[in-house]
Amino acid sequence: TKNPWLNMPSKSPYVLKEDLDKIETFNKKLGKKYKIFLLQTNRLPEPFVGNHEAPVVLLNLNPKFVDCDKTSQTDGDFSELCRANWSHKTAKYKFYYLDPKLKCHCGSKWWESRLGDLVKRVDRARLVRNIFAIEFCAYPSESGRKLPKELTGDKYRNYLVESAINRDATIIIMQGTKRWHEAIPKLKGYEKTFELRNPQNPTITAANLYRPATEEDFKKLTTRLSRIRF
């Protein structure tokens, strides 16, 4: 399956050309009244983060845009790491939000808190190589409750998830369970798919995992992350 993210423009608007009209129409319909749902095209999209062959895959809604984030998204370290990730290039910190270079980035703070017990229990050098996060929609907004349908990256997104199922990866749906099930029906019957008890606070802890929900099963998850190397 062709990776469309290799065709991202080098300057704003950072939108695949096939999506530009659809996103402009989507934003226009929402207007200023629903500002929190507007997709930001002056920020780099993030269809996925991490190692695309990882044993643990996290499914999210879309990258969060916050006005307080003054860190550069379009040049410097973030841009370099993000664009390298689109092409699945090898890197020391494949899950770049755990790279010390980005420790002041709002996205890094979000992921540090949401990875919860994984950050505490798994050696960071292995964790950054063994997790892969996929966004349902690559374009950022303040809230992902409203998202456009049938964007260019959807087919490649589904391919990445189906590849995870085929390699027997552990999959955790952090947010948007209904959307993910509709897009990829295989997830419903996949026995290694987990959900969170509170998707409004998508923190990966033993207490917040819906299935399995025991401390012992969470230990098995962290053990898998610790043992596998890439």
Name the token pair of 167. Answer: 């390699």
What is the pTM assigned to this prediction? 0.92
> Rounded CA gap, 230 and 224, in Å?
13
The pLDDT tens digits of the residues spanning 11-27 come to 999 999 999 999 999 99
Report the SS3 class of residue 135: strand
Tokens of 27: 């934003």
Cis before 202 (ω within 30): no
Calculate the alpha carbon distances from 195 to 42, 211, 219 in Å. 32, 6, 16
Do the beta carbons of residue 172 and residue 56 sit within 8 Å?
A: yes
Chain centroid to CA 162: how far? 15
At 110-127, the pLDDT tens digits run: 999 999 889 888 998 899
CB-side neighbour CA atoms (13 Å) of 137: 27
Dig out the tokens for 94 from the structure. Answer: 């494949």
Q: Which residues pair with 41 in a beta bridge?
A: none
Look up tokens 């997709």; give the residue: 39
- The one-digit pLDDT tens for each residue of the chain (230 residues) are 899 999 999 999 999 999 999 999 999 999 888 899 999 999 999 999 999 999 999 999 999 887 656 566 766 888 999 999 999 998 889 999 999 988 888 888 899 999 988 988 899 889 999 999 999 999 999 899 999 999 999 999 999 999 999 999 999 999 999 999 999 999 998 988 999 988 888 999 888 887 644 677 777 788 878 875 54
> Which candidate, 208, 203, 214, places its Cα nearest to that of 60?
203
- Dihedral pair phi/psi, residue 216, rounded to 5°: -65, -40
3-class SS of residue 21: helix
Q: Centre a 10 Å sphere on the Cβ of residue 197 and count the other Cβ atoms it contains.
A: 12
